[in-house]
């Protein structure tokens, strides 16, 4: 392999871009395993019926609550994870009249939704937003939300984390360049 071919291959490898990440989806199908998945570990979301297998009388989804013992629910993503998010969507049904706000990392409201009250929980409403400033979390601001509102099919898209350049790569390129210069001098002499 010639130096020219080697340098061309190195340039192509360095200019390749990373593929976009696949969406993350939480369907709460594996109770209680969801708690150690992406949503459980990157937010303060909790199961109203406690840790473990109990979903209450709902066959799917999660009866949502946060870590604060009040009737509203404010689910916040951790800062690094939230900053990487470009879209957020979920299915919602509520036993109480409710208002949902989804906000970005700076606390700016990206979308406000209501009219998903369904006393039989047979039909959920899908809500979603996109953002160039990450997703900070979502807030059900009506009293009585905890234990009376369920979510399912929580879906996010995230920018992949940048892959750091290995420390050996610049040294390899310097060595290849040095080899090329030495070879050129040898041919010229």
Task: Tell me the residue range of the domain where 30 lies.
Answer: 20-158
Chain segment 52-107, per-residue pLDDT in tens: 555 555 567 888 888 887 778 999 999 999 999 999 999 998 888 889 999 999 99
Within a domain: 1: no
pLDDT cut 70: percent of the chain above it: 68
Chain segment 101-135, per-residue pLDDT in tens: 999 999 999 999 988 777 666 678 899 999 999 99
Within a domain: 81: yes
The residue ranking higher by pLDDT, 152 or 17, is 152
Among the listed ranges 30-34, 121-125, 135-139, which one has the minimum average pLDDT value? 30-34
Residue 72 contacts residue 140 (beta carbons within 8 Å): yes
- pLDDT of amino acid 99: 92
Within a domain: 95: yes
How does the average pLDDT of the chain come out, rounded? 80
Within a domain: 97: yes
Confidence label for 17 from pLDDT (cuts 50, 70 and 90): very low
Residue 102 contacts residue 43 (beta carbons within 8 Å): no
CATH of the domain at 37: 2.60.120
Give the residue-averaged pLDDT of 31-55: 79
Within a domain: 175: no
Residue partners of 87: CB distance under 8 A and separation at least 6:
128, 129, 130, 131, 135, 155, 156, 157
For residue 139, pLDDT beyond 50: yes
Within a domain: 15: no
The count of structural domains within the chain is 1
pLDDT cut 90: percent of the chain above it: 37
For residue 164, pLDDT beyond 80: no
pTM: 0.71
Within a domain: 5: no
Within a domain: 86: yes
């Amino acid at each position: 392999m010639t130096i020219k071919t080697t340098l061309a291959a190195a340039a192509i490898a360095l200019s390749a871009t990373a593929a976009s990440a696949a969406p993350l989806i939480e369907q709460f199908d594996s109770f209680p395993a969801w708690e150690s998945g992406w949503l459980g570990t990157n937010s303060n979301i909790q199961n109203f019926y406690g840790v473990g297998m109990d979903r209450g009388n709902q066959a799917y989804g999660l009866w949502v609550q946060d870590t604060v013992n009040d009737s509203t629910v404010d689910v916040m993503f951790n800062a690094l994870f939230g900053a990487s998010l470009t879209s957020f969507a979920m299915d919602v049904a509520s036993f109480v009249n409710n208002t949902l706000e989804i906000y970005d990392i700076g606390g700016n409201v990206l979308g406000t939704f209501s009219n998903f009250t369904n006393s039989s929980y047979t039909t959920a409403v899908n809500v979603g937003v996109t953002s160039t400033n990450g997703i900070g979390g979502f807030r059900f601001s009506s009293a009585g939300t905890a234990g009376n509102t369920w979510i399912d099919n929580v879906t996010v898209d995230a920018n992949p984390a940048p892959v750091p350049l290995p420390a050996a790569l610049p040294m390899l390129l310097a060595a290849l360049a040095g080899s090329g210069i030495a070879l050129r001098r040898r041919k010229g002499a």
